[in-house]
Chain A
């Protein structure tokens, strides 16, 4: 195997990187791909709880890098999908415990094990971010339609260009269609015009994301959730499928879907 290494980063914290990584991992593994999600946020580990695997951790990324365990020992198998794994961050160390060249080596070793390596970058543009992008074949920049998140995303895109990481693709997360319609929120067109990079997905704001996090079941597992569908679409695009962008207007409610089928609106 020779995995593709994809890093999600954002500059600003709290915009949904971890949620995105967990859901893309689930969505790719559901399509029969072998996937490992790597938590790059050393000291502030969170991907384990979002994936619901926090009780299974024995070894972490620093244990691999420092040679206390073999690679496969630190790959925690997901309880739902056989092809999905997590390499957790260390909680009691800091970002300096791992270097960009450690990450390159880890990436190369993981390439032999799986089809996809998804790396969750910490917020910021310091060591943790540098670690996360070092082995990446492709970088996805995730942002919200918020003025501070867009500004930070632009900064990150500038750094990626300067480091010759190639042009990243954009995931626009938490779009509230009602607010966009009222012109109270930057529209996807506005954000794309400002950041001027390729789009790979638009994820609507969806309350069920928090509920899914509460339960440790990534939102892509929820067939009813619009955000879950958006992440499944992004995974399909990562695999090269040509998936149309979903209609943000359309609501997920049963009644609306029935009225749509019967032509009543």
Chain B
């Protein structure tokens, strides 16, 4: 890597290869495309919102890798309930 690459902040090509492979292998192993993930997220938000109050923008759904296992991770923060105190 040249000096100019370094000051321009260009990524080392091995790192680029690894990141691209991580995405492509997740897709190859699971048929999980970004579009599927997005659709899943929208529907999950809809279903959960029917029962409890959540902030749709805070919901995060992703595929995590653990060894050769792929795991669908949904992070759904619950809204704090404004408590009614005293009677």
Residues of A at the B interface (CB closer than 8 Å) are 147, 150-151, 154-155, 157-158, 161, 180, 182-187, 190, 193-197
Contacts and interface: CB of A to CB of B under 8 A. Distances in A.
Nearest to B68: A196
Dominant SS at the A interface?
A: helix
Contacts of B85: none
B68 A161 contact: yes
A196 B65 CA distance: 10
A161 B1 CA distance: 39
Interface residues of B, number: 17
Looking at chain B's contact residues, the main secondary structure is: helix
A194 B28 contact: no
A147 B20 contact: yes
Interface string B44-68: 0000000000000000000001011
B64 to A, nearest CB: 13
B68 A157 contact: yes
A194 B21 CA distance: 8
Contacts of A158: 28-29
Contacts of B67: 196
B1 A184 contact: yes
B38 to A, nearest CB: 24
Nearest to A154: B25
